[in-house]
Amino acid sequence: IGRPNVGKSSLVNAILGEERVIVSNIEGTTRDAIDTRFTDDGQAFTIIDTAGIRKRGKIWENTEKYSVLRAQSAIERSAVVLVLIDAEAGIREQDKHVAGLAHEAGRGVIIVVNKWDAVHKDTHSMKKFTDEIRSQFQYLDYAPIVFLSAKTHQRVSTLPALIKKVAENHERRITSSTLNDVLLKAVATTPTPTSNGKRLRVYYMTQVKSGPPTFVAFVNNVDLMHFSYQRFLVNQLRAAFDFSGTPIVIVPRQRK
């Protein structure tokens, strides 16, 4: 997914190794979400080329409104979403809106910086761009970043293995016993917060679903479970298990 003309169709063709979808410099060439199946190293994939997502104010044709809805539908039925950014144009506000759609849908996310071949670079260019992405997309701190060129095929071959890894992390399940070992250590190193003389108590955690990994934390008072402590627990889970590329959801629930 991405803004119009960031190279989505070109990337699909580069991954497939053939001109399967139409590529044009004219924005809006791709109108529909196009499914294509392929196999890489014995693993079957379905890749969906989507229409570019513009700002709402720029959506003026009924056909284009339909294209955006189809792109959003494609996000919902995907396990992993590649969020494309144009390296030449740099990060735009619309890039953040587009990426937010994947994050809010709970999909696995990989940030793909395309057209890297066209950027004048020095030894620090990649680090600077990475730092800028981390600053602008703080809610996607879990997403790996790949710099590539769909035009020259530079680093395109690394994508299928990374997509497979993120998909596996997105479906990862942790046993309750292992999960609560991590919880005990977390609470021991960083005591739970207090509010108006009341201390939050996290009794135990259990995973209720995957895709994305979702955990219920049973507590004495849900009002005491502030976002900052949820964030702390998420970071502890990331430190203990490989959840790169996938969001993690923690749902506080009051123990009866």
The last residue of one of the domains, among 169, 197, 231, is 169
Q: Per the domain annotation, does 161 fall within a domain?
A: yes
Residue type, 211: G
Q: Per the domain annotation, does 143 fall within a domain?
A: yes
The token pair that represents 110 in the structure block: 């990989």
The token pair that represents 228 in the structure block: 């900052």
Residue type, 87: A
Residue 65: pLDDT band (50, 70, 90) is: low
Question: Is the per-residue pLDDT at 27 higher than 50?
Answer: no
- Give the residue numbers spanning the domain of 184: 176-254
Q: Which residue carries 């001109």 as its tokens?
A: 19
My answer on whether 43 and 145 are in the same domain is yes
What is the pLDDT averaged over residues 31-37? 71
The last residue of one of the domains, among 140, 169, 198, is 169
- What percent of the chain shows pLDDT beyond 90? 70
Please give the Cα distance from 68 to 37 (Å, whole number).
Answer: 22
Residue 64: pLDDT band (50, 70, 90) is: low
The token pair that represents 133 in the structure block: 């992405």
Structural domain total, the chain: 2
CATH number of the domain where residue 180 is located: 3.30.300.20
Q: What is the rounded average pLDDT for all residues in the chain?
A: 88
What is the pLDDT averaged over residues 141-155? 96
Query: For residue 128, how far is the Cα from the chain centroid?
Result: 20
pTM reported for the whole predicted model:
0.87
Q: Per the domain annotation, does 134 fall within a domain?
A: yes
154/22: higher pLDDT: 154
What is the pLDDT averaged over residues 24-34? 49
What is the pLDDT averaged over residues 137-164? 96
CATH number of the domain where residue 56 is located: 3.40.50.300
Q: Per the domain annotation, does 244 fall within a domain?
A: yes
Question: Is the per-residue pLDDT at 63 higher than 80?
Answer: no
The last residue of one of the domains, among 129, 154, 169, is 169
Assess contact for 30 and 12: CB atoms under 8 A: no
Q: Per the domain annotation, does 1 fall within a domain?
A: no
Q: Which residue carries 């769909």 as its tokens?
A: 150
